[in-house]
Amino acid sequence: MGISSVPSGATIYLDNVYQGVTPQSLENIPFGSHVVKLTLGNYQDWSDNVELTAASPTASVNAVLKPVPPTYSITVVESFRSNMSDLRPLGTEVGDTVASTLNSAGWVQKFYHKDYFVTEQDFGILDAPLNQGLDESILHYHFGHGSKDRGLVLVKPNEIGDIPLVPRDFLQPIQVANKWDYKNKWVIFDACELVGDPRWRNALVTSHGILGFQTPKTPDSQLPSRFFQYAMNEDRTVGDAWIQATQDLYYKTGIIAAYRFDNKDQLDRDHLPGHGEMAPDEYPDDYSTYYWQWEC
């Protein structure tokens, strides 16, 4: 079965099983009815039934994808007591900045969750075709605490519905290993240390990159504004916009920012939708990533 699309680079699912990106030729498909589904960031999903028989053992699928507004999601965990610094109201300021900037640019919000409404499912822990959480968003922005050893910090309400004295949960990289796919392309961790943990690279399936920090950092509500200034107003690549934004705000602080991309081509070519080209998804996945860090 030959499968192509306009534009190319769409993710292929055959009977809900990932099969790479278009254009692609699939071999050894059994006779019978099969569902072909194509997904691509900033485009509507496309699907069709294809019948293979002894009389017609091959098929050609040529899909023209229709553009849709890009999607985004936000998680903010800012309310802490006791052993971790309370991040209120900076988290809300960051989240609101991301939302207002992208809404003004015509993006569609999938969700904006805060504190103990933020769950593991927001980070796409389920397998396709049960796409949920950040898998539904081209860009996901998270603000909160992080630990290289323990993971992304979550808070859960205690027995009386109050903020707990000690965080109850950590999202570990192993929970999202081989899970970030569908529409997602970039995840921003506006949190300490997370991107320095190489295990996060295992999350990238059709997602392209993770941007964040390698060391502890101080929160700055201006970070998303600076990032979008460079990525949208100046049409810089996603990676370059992150470098410039972190250097602007953390210059000579000793803080180390970083990113992980699935490959160098995605780092060099990826722009936010409407602001330049985007590299295709990596297929087959070589289970390696391109990592870079810099002292701001």
State the Cα–Cα distance between residues 85 and 280, nearest whole angstrom. 40
103 and 249 within one domain? yes
- Return the pLDDT at 187: 98
Higher pLDDT: 296 or 159? It is 296
- Of 64, 82, 100, the residue at which a domain comes to its end is 64
- Return the pLDDT at 156: 76
136 and 53 within one domain? no
Q: What is the pLDDT of residues 101-137, one digit of tens each?
A: 999 999 999 999 999 899 999 999 987 666 689 999 9
119 and 10 within one domain? no
State the Cα–Cα distance between residues 59 and 225, nearest whole angstrom. 48
**Residue 29 tokens, joined:** 């498909």
- Return the pLDDT at 89: 95
31 and 158 within one domain? no
| CATH number, residue 182 | 3.40.50
Residue 208 has pLDDT above 60, yes or no: yes
79 and 20 within one domain? no
State the Cα–Cα distance between residues 228 and 230, nearest whole angstrom. 5
Type of residue at 220: D
Residue 291 has pLDDT above 70, yes or no: yes
199 and 105 within one domain? yes
The phi, psi pair for 242, rounded to 5°, reads -70, -40
Number of domains in the chain: 2
User: What is the average pLDDT across 255-275?
Assistant: 97
Q: What is the pLDDT of residues 29-83, one digit of tens each?
A: 999 999 999 998 778 899 999 999 999 999 999 999 998 899 999 999 998 876 6
82 and 54 within one domain? no
95 and 21 within one domain? no
- Return the pLDDT at 164: 54
Range of the domain at 49: 2-64
- Of 41, 64, 87, the residue at which a domain comes to its end is 64
39 and 114 within one domain? no
7 and 122 within one domain? no
111 and 196 within one domain? yes
| CATH number, residue 43 | 2.60.40.1120
161 and 48 within one domain? no
Q: How confident is the model at residue 233 (pLDDT cuts 50, 70, 90)?
A: very high
Residue 265 has pLDDT above 70, yes or no: yes
- Return the pLDDT at 131: 61
Residue 159 has pLDDT above 90, yes or no: no
First to last CA, the chain: 50
- Of 64, 84, 108, the residue at which a domain comes to its end is 64
Give me the torsion for CA of 103, 106, 109, 114, rounded to 10°.
-20
- Return the pLDDT at 43: 86
